């Protein structure tokens, strides 16, 4: 690795390393799970549990059927907010269970 006069931020190095190692999708998935609480707010975050994210589908477990119905009504809005927070079109669908 060559030395440069300008140091890089550690976040930039991690992104570059993930890309180099072929872990870009895993990094994006992790980032999606991280922003969930800030996107949906505390009330919804407390009523949900993130299960996994794979192939553009986010799997969310909800506390009860009433929450599942409410979140299904808000699905498009939540997907839009998630993708906006991630600055990429990563989330294609949310499966509430």
Mean of pLDDT values over 78-89? 91
Task: Supply the pLDDT for residue 66.
Answer: 93
In a domain, 1, yes or no: no
3-state SS of the chain: helix, strand, coil percent to 5? Answer: 60, 20, 25
Coil, helix or strand at residue 49? strand
- Residue range of the domain that includes 72: 24-96
CATH code (residue 64): 3.30.300.180
In a domain, 82, yes or no: yes
Local confidence band at 4 (pLDDT 50, 70, 90 cut-offs) = low
Mean of pLDDT values over 5-10? 77
This prediction has a pTM of 0.74
Task: Supply the pLDDT for residue 83.
Answer: 92
Total domains in the chain come to 1
pLDDT digits (tens, 9 = 90+) for 13-26: 777 776 777 667 77
In a domain, 13, yes or no: no
In a domain, 44, yes or no: yes
pLDDT digits (tens, 9 = 90+) for 29-77: 777 778 888 899 989 999 998 888 888 899 999 999 999 999 999 999 9
Task: Supply the pLDDT for residue 3.
Answer: 67
């Amino acid at each position: 690795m060559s030395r440069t006069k300008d140091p890089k931020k550690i976040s930039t190095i991690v992104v570059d390393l993930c890309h180099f190692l072929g872990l870009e999708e895993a990094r994006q998935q992790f980032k999606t799970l991280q922003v969930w609480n800030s996107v949906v707010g505390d009330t919804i975050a407390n009523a949900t549990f993130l299960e996994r994210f794979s192939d553009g589908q986010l799997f969310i477990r909800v506390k009860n059927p009433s929450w599942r119905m409410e979140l299904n009504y808000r699905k498009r809005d939540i997907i839009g907010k998630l993708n906006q927070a991630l600055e990429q079109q990563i989330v294609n669908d949310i499966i509430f269970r």
